[in-house]
Structures are given as C-alpha cells and as structure tokens.
Chains A and B, each alone.
Chain A
Amino acid sequence: MHDKQVRRRRAVLVLLVAVSLILLTAYFGESANSPLHNVQRGIVEVLSPIQEGASKALKPVRDVAGWFSDTLHAKSQRDQLLKENQSLRVQLAQAQAAEEENAQLRAEVKLDNSGTIGSYSRVTANVIGRDPSLWWITVEVDKGSEDGVKKDDPVIGYGALVGEVTTVDPTVSVVTLITDHAFAVTAQVQDGGSGDTGVLVPEVGNPNELILQYLRQNAPIQVGQEVVTAGFKSPGGNLNSLFPAAIPIGQVSNANQNTLINSQTVQVTPDADLRHLDVVQILTNPQAGNQQRAQVP
C-alpha cells in the first residue's frame, strides 16, 4: 500500500515536471500567433474584467500603502521638486521659443510631422494589473484593440517613455516597461549639439537605472543631460523606429569618463516613476495628428 502511494506520488511529480518542461520548450520556440499564445491571450481577456474590478476595489488599499510611503519621503521630495521647478521654468521658456522657431522653419522647408510625437493620437488607459516578478516588468492596462491600440505602440507616463504594447486583446493590453530585460530602444543624449545616439537597455535587478550603450568613446556627455528617443528613419522608409523622436526617457545619472572610454556606456535614470503607474497614454495611429492638424484652418 505504502509502495503504491510512493510510486503514485513520484509518477505525478515526474508528469508535472515533464508537462512544465514541454510547455516551456514549446512556448519559447513558438511565434506570437501560435496556439499557446492564443490560449494565453484568451485567458488574459477573460480575466481582464475581474482584474479591472479588483483593481478598482483594492485602490483604497494601494492608496493607504502609498500614503505611508509618500509621507516618509515628502520633505526631501518637496525640496528636490522646488529646485527642479526653478530649473524647469527656465527650460520651458527656452523650449517654447525653440518650438516656435522649429514650427516656422518646418513650415518653410515643408517638413512633415511623421515620426514625431505630435503625429500620434493618444489613448489614455488605466493600469489594472502589474507583474510581481523581477524579470518580466509588465503592466496590464484597460484599453485594447477596440480603442485603436496596436502591438508595438509606444506608451508614455509622467510625460516620459515607459514602455511599449506587447500584447493586445479587444479590451485589454499588456505593456512591457523599459526596465524589462527584453526591452531596448535607440536613444539620443541632448548634449548641446552633437546628439550622441546609442541603444538604451535596462540593468536587470536595478529598476531605477538604464544603460545607454554603443556611444562614442569621446562623447561629451555629462550628468543631468536629458535622454530622449532617437526615432530613426531609414532613407527608403523600410526600417523605421517604433518610437517617435524626442520622447523624454530619463537623465544621465552617471557619466564616468573611464567607463565611457572602456565600455562606451553611461547610466540613465528614468524620468517616469515606473513602480507607481496609475494612468498611461498609448501613442497610436501615427498619422492621426497630421490629419487633425491638416483640418485646422
């Protein structure tokens, strides 16, 4: 009797491990439209109303926890924000002047707005779920293909890039954040003229840092400079960046000259608070902005 129980227990254990390994192998080698991915999307779709309800119902719990955390850091944050505010006022005045000048020059040389953030329409979405693991940094939002969201659409929050849409269902989408280990985007440092470009990747295990790779060894990069999306476009238009140019991403937090010479990298701190996203904007339908602008007399 005891032997039978032991054999049964071992058989079930081997079976479960085998099924897990088969699923892992099958999923890893499959394309995004494979049956397993479809089943997964179906389950996300079924769960999304429950998720949305639970997210709304549990918001007070999150708010209370957030209140304690915010109170602890309130004073230091206030001092920091006051300084930042002063600096931003100056930058805003300069940016407004530059924007006007830019618009005039664009009109003179008849440049279109495609590939810029202004050419996209924006879909505002609420975050209804979040992945707890340290590896897959994704959030689930309550807008999907019925709202015009498409796969690979850029997502912004707190005025900066936070990720891209990686799974779309009719009423819900999954956004992979810029700190996910599989994320990468071409980015440019606004270093006063040269605009050095590299590839921005996360530093796995450190959610507050990103790494800008493949820079020039003698790039004149300094701490505090803004990093934005590069938004490249190939001459034939066959290979375009998924992200429009000039979306703020973060600021250079460490630009050690030795590291720059040896590994051509600098560290970047994201502008957006990725741990506390409640609302995001999905940039979709790249030409919508142009059409809207064209209708304005």
Chain B
Amino acid sequence: MSDLKLVIRLVLLGVVTVVIQEAAISQITVFGVSADLTPLVVMSVGLLTGSLAGAITGFGIGLFVDMALVQTLGVTSLLYIAIGYWSGRLRELRDPANGLVPLAMGAAATAFAGLGMALIQFLLGVDAPVSFLLLQQIIITVLVNTLIALPVYALVRRIITPVLPQDPRRRRRRAYSTGGLSPLSRPSDRLGGTTRSARAQ
C-alpha cells in the first residue's frame, strides 16, 4: 500500500514538475539561461529513495520531458536514468548525512545533463556551427540550478517522505543521534545486560 502511494506521488511529482518547468520556469531567464528543475527532482528522488526507484523515476521523467517537448525520444530519459541511479547509489553506499549533499549533487546532475545532451547531439549529428559559449551557458545553468537545489530537494523530501518505507539504517542513525541506541548513554544496560522491557517486568 505504501509502495503504491509512493508511486502515485512520484508520478504526480514528475507531471507537475514538467508542466511547471515548461509553463513558467523556462520563460524566466537568469543571466541569460533558465533553471531546469527536472534533473534536480530526479537527483532528489534518487537521494531519498535509492538507486532502483531513482533510475525508474529518471527514466519516467526523462521520457515525459521528451514526449511533452516533442524532442527525440530516449535522449533525456537515458541521461536521467544515470542521474537517478547514481544519486541513489550514493545514498546506498555512503548514506551522506551532510545537509549540503543535495547542493553538490544538484550541480553534478545539471552538469551531467548539460554535457551529456551536448555529447548525444554531437553523436546524432549537428548541422549548425557550435559556439564555445555553449560551455558557458552550461556552466551558468549549473550555477543557477545549484542555487535552487536545496529548496527543490527540501520540497521533494516533504512530498515523498511520508510515504517512504522505513529504512533500518536511517532509523538506527536517528536513534543513535538522539541517544536511543548509544552504548554510552546507558552504561547500566550495557553492563547489566538488562533491557528496558526486562526491567519493567
């Protein structure tokens, strides 16, 4: 049931993100470029849910972007699979607790999406001349996206955390940080080998 709720929320999140991106964010320019919410949302989902859900969400949002914007199908989804997967792997392998991780991951995801798109376009063939300013535009987009990475991550976390299945590792860390499972917090428990429930009896 919880999985179904998570899927529904992720689908709605993807649709709303693409619609808002196309209808508003893309038409607002900062330093000559527009922010791109979609790689940030995929990165956030990967960081919060893991590599499998991140990759599937990346594929779904990428395909939806390609469909809605009448682009070559498969290009954006290919890039976003990688973003979702590696964000999820970072969570699974390192479980980063630092609050600035989404900032760094947002920058990396945007840079990967921009450079990856350029690479695929070159592979598919570009008729028009390409300016070095393309690199400058990608860098400015990365900077703009980095600025909004934290609020986007916080919003995505707020949306999907209530329906996320409990992760034992996070629960253990939370309990440890609040003193619940720390071996130093209850020396008598450790030495005596009794538990709270045993004492209650």
Contacts and interface: CB of A to CB of B under 8 A. Distances in A.
Contact of A13 (B21, B77, B85, B121): B85
Given A131-B22, A209-B131, A62 B27 contact: yes
B31 to A, nearest CB: 10
Contacts of A167: 70
A176 to B, nearest CB: 9
Contacts of A182: 127-128
Given A132-B26, A207-B32, A19 B59 contact: yes
A128 interface: yes
Interface stretch (B134-142, B164-172, B177-185, B187-195): B134-142
B8 interface: no
Contacts of A218: none
A284 B77 CA distance: 35
Given A23-B74, A40-B70, A47-B68, A203 B129 contact: yes
Interface size class, chain B: 35 or more
A205 B130 contact: yes
A205 B131 contact: yes
Interface residues of A, number: 63
A242 interface: no
Contact of A36 (B19, B27, B73, B131): B73
Contacts of B32: 207, 275
A153 interface: no
B200 interface: no
Interface string B68-92: 1111111101100100010000000
B69 to A, nearest CB: 5
A20 B81 contact: yes
B198 interface: no
The binding surface of chain B is classed by DSSP as helix
Residue with the highest number of chain B CB atoms closer than 10 Å, among A16, A61, A62, A131: A16
A266 to B, nearest CB: 13
B155 interface: no
A211 B129 contact: yes
A20 B77 contact: yes
Nearest to B78: A20
Interface string B26-60: 11110011111010000000000001100110010
A181 B81 contact: no
Contacts of A43: 67-68
Nearest to B82: A17
A16 B121 CA distance: 20
Chain B CB within 10 A, most for which of A66, A201, A275: A275
A27 B74 contact: yes
B117 A205 contact: no
Contacts of A20: 59, 62-63, 74, 77-78, 81
Interface in B5-26: 19-26
Contacts of A40: 66-67, 70, 73
B124 interface: yes
Q: Tell me which of A20, A128, A204 has the highest count of chain B C-beta atoms within 10 A of its own C-beta.
A: A20
7 contacts: A12-B52, A23-B73, A61-B28, A62-B27, A134-B117, A204-B126, A275-B29
Given A27-B73, A28-B72, A55-B24, 5 more contacts: A13-B81, A54-B20, A58-B20, A181-B121, A202-B128
